[in-house]
Chains A and B, each alone.
Chain A
Amino acid sequence: MLPTPFEFDRASTVAAAVSAVGQEGEGMFYSGGTELLLAMKMRVIHTERLVDIKGIPGLDRIVLNDANELEIGSRCTHVKIAGDSVIREHVPALASLCANVANVRVRSVGTIGGNLCFGEPHADPPTMLGALDARLVLQGPNGTRSVHADDFIRSELETVREADELMIVIVFPRPTGPVTYRRFKHGERPSVNVGMAWSMEAGAHSIKSARVRVGALGSKPQPLKAVEGVLKGLPVHDAHRAIQSVLAAALDELDVNEDRHGSADYKRHLAGVLLLRNAEEAVAMQGRAT
């Protein structure tokens, strides 16, 4: 199907893009269009103006900054992140996640920022970025602000981003411990995904803190607080058993939608399976690292 007609603008600076979207009539930022055009073709989204941000320099940078944080420009494509040497060195799990989003064509043009802004509850990146303690930097007409990845998605397909705020960069601390990500998929989109990031005590075998996010189950990625709590300060080799001891209770806390991807109890169970497998992998990675 054809999208209904719209104006097409190209912006060469963030300020120009923000101002173009903010003009009279509804405008939207546009880059890869893999989610947006699909919705426009299905005529479930209509916009009067698309503002192409692909000409804005700097939005596709990936760097390790002076504050030892990784910065990923919002319009980095999945294929770029998957192949980026900085990401592959410091967060291989994110590179592998991006190498497995949808299919090779979507990865060619689809961007991580677009993926986040669409708020699709079955997406891979939001879960992982929550676990990575990422903040998302938005620039609007009144300047920039940072939103934590956990707070960005409000609900299904809804985020806290204002229509005229452009996500410009995703920032997260360089991980100091193992980062793992798994998803279970029986169809086009994941039924459940689990991201986990451990930060390690310097030179020690114990976990300083752990972040665990479970996605695709409810309207947005959810933390597993009980698991995070029990892992804090724990020697690595005790992690698996410790998770098992609190797992049932932790999974019960999750908000789970029953849908074609599975019944609630099954999806909860899957979250546990993925989490334990992530933990096994993390223990093995930490074993190799020390």
Chain B
Amino acid sequence: MDNVAAVIGMDPAEFRLKNLAARGERTRPDLRALDMDMSELMVRVTQSFASESQGSNRRSRGMAVAATDPANTPIANAIVRLKIDGSILVSVSSIEVGQGAHATMARIAAQTLKQPFSAVSTLRADTAVAPYDWGTGASRSTVVVGLSVENAALDAADQILDMVVDVWELPKESLSLVEGGVSTGSEVLTFHQIFHRTLGVDSGEVVGRGAITPRSKKGALAESPLFWETSAGLAEIVVDEDTGEIHAPRYASAADVGRVIDRVAAEGQDEGAAAMGFGHALYEQLEFEDGQPLNATPIDYMIPRISDVPPVFDTILIENGDGPGPGGAKGMGEGAILPVAPAIANALFSAYGVRITDLPMTPEKVWRALQRGSEFMEFNMSMMVPATPGDLWKTLIDVPSISSCIPGCENVEEIAPLESYKAMVKQKIGPFKVEVPAEIVVESVTEPSHVRTRATGRDKFTGTRLAVILDVSVIPEDLGSKLTVDAKVDIQGRLASMGLGVIKRRVDQNFEEFETRLKSLLGAA
């Protein structure tokens, strides 16, 4: 996206906003219509950075948005038991591996039954006693198993309310669950009272059952994917230009999760995913030789450490309550991995005009890319000059008069004759004003036939870096001399990423102008 935006000279964020598929649109006819606004994610990560003005020259930013389609298997069962003491047991086959599935199920049961979270225990999964579930993975547990827990809790609630209807002879519509029991409107019956009066003993429970199948919710869960798992990432990076090492001092990650059930756990899932994103973006690569892994130890295989994740990390969870899960929740925890690498790569591209497409972006890879630079622009010209090589040479090394041929070149200052000079190069490209204080070094001189100079500089406003290598040769000919100029121009920075095409045209124009002025200076044909 950023590449395309750069070619047409548009801001990459603006380019995305113009072209994003909107909520309700389909990216493929056989997939569910988009159930989120990608633009909302982009806006939220951008706002996260808004407190700080643009990064300094040393810092650059890159953004990426991503969506993935998690597996679609709406098949799960749950059992929720409400006991006489108000304690609640949830039994599901979801495996707790640290993602917080069991706590999430407990929260769903607690919220549905209007009981405190502390009253609920999720039993350790054992398929010998827990009901069938398709599997733990694919960001599905909160949605699919969560819905079955919600159903089971509603079933249990129904049974409790029916006891009250039956024994107290009250209309069901007047009853509601409250913490520790059932409210009749005029009084609260404790669970103990309800079981005691209904069963005639001081013990008992109701067993609620919930099932989700592709036919549940009138088939609404059957379409694939169940929901879109989406995220946006905005990375700020600092590149050590000498070593190629990338540091990310700041990152914002936004995910549309529908509804948050457990905030700390949900944020942690997102942050963990993003950290893995940093791993594959910058560090991780399993190497093989003859089918055997070469670096399968933590000494040789690097994963992110606490010192590698951005110290400023903003985790944004968007809640529109529009997911298929309990309370409008969607699955999450994987999406945040996706935008990290492209966001970093875009930041690199934005600052340096280099594009790395194979991960990880190791220091060596980045360094090599910086060495190659963005595409060099090359220009060649040659002209016949009616002067001897000796005379022509004299004109050429008269730096003030030669530099007067270069459009925008001002204040030429001689530091050491035929060694180094300083100059200011001013250019206006569209709305952009660039002022590059250039250092000009004469790299080699072979009198009177060849001179090579290198000019480098950096514009402090746009961060644009300019490097020009100029080879000028004088070749004796029958009727005078032939002058050839070969130039390599490299422009890097945000301006370059705005549109290399625009700059290339400008540089072309400048060379034409240079040629014209030089010809008139030398009286060339």
Contacts and interface: CB of A to CB of B under 8 A. Distances in A.
Interface stretch (B121-129, B146-154, B360-368, B481-489): B360-368
Contacts of A269: 367
A260 interface: yes
B362 A260 contact: no
B243 A188 contact: no
B298 interface: yes
B302 A266 contact: no
Given A260-B294, A260-B295, 14 more contacts: A184-B245, A184-B363, A186-B283, A186-B302, A186-B362, A187-B299, A188-B299, A188-B300, A188-B302, A189-B299, A260-B287, A262-B364, A266-B367, A266-B368
Nearest to B241: A273
Contacts of B368: 266
Nearest to B285: A260
Interface string B299-314: 1101000000000000
Interface string A177-200: 000000010111100000000000
18 contacts: A184-B243, A184-B245, A186-B245, A186-B283, A186-B362, A186-B363, A187-B300, A188-B298, A188-B299, A188-B300, A188-B302, A189-B299, A260-B287, A260-B294, A263-B364, A266-B368, A270-B243, A273-B243
A227 B300 CA distance: 33
A266 B364 contact: yes
Interface in A266-285: 266, 269-270, 273
A270 to B, nearest CB: 6
Interface residues of A, number: 12
Interface centre among B300, B302, B364 (most CB of A within 10 A): B364
A262 B243 CA distance: 11
B242 interface: yes
Interface in B266-303: 283, 287, 294-295, 298-300, 302
Contact of A273 (B242, B283, B295, B300): B242
A260 B302 CA distance: 12
Nearest to A42: B297
Interface string B322-366: 000000000000000000000000000000000000000011100
Nearest to B301: A187
B115 to A, nearest CB: 45
Contacts of B287: 260
Contacts of A266: 364, 367-368
A186 B302 CA distance: 8
Nearest to B363: A186
A189 B367 CA distance: 20
B356 to A, nearest CB: 15
A270 B246 CA distance: 15
Interface residues on B, range: 10 to 19
Contacts of A273: 242-243
A184 B362 CA distance: 13
A263 B387 CA distance: 50
Nearest to A192: B243
Interface string A38-81: 00000000000000000000000000000000000000000000
A222 B375 CA distance: 37
Nearest to A187: B302
A219 B245 CA distance: 25
Contacts of B362: 186
Closest 3 CB pairs of A and B: A273-B242, A188-B299, A187-B302
A273 B243 CA distance: 8
B96 to A, nearest CB: 29
Interface string B359-395: 0001110011000000000000000000000000000
Nearest to A273: B242
A198 B245 CA distance: 28
A133 B139 CA distance: 60
Contacts of A260: 287, 294-295, 300
A12 B524 CA distance: 92
Interface in A236-260: 260
A273 B242 CA distance: 7
Contacts of A187: 299-300, 302
Interface in A126-164: none
A184 B446 CA distance: 40
A59 B362 CA distance: 42
A217 to B, nearest CB: 14
Contacts of B283: 186
Interface in B221-267: 242-243, 245
A207 B34 CA distance: 69
Nearest to A277: B242
Contacts of B363: 184, 186
A188 B363 CA distance: 15
B297 to A, nearest CB: 9
A273 B241 CA distance: 10
A231 B367 CA distance: 29
Contacts of B242: 273
Contacts of B300: 187-188, 260
A186 B298 CA distance: 13
A280 to B, nearest CB: 12
Contacts of B295: 260
A49 B464 CA distance: 64
A119 B294 CA distance: 22
B441 to A, nearest CB: 13
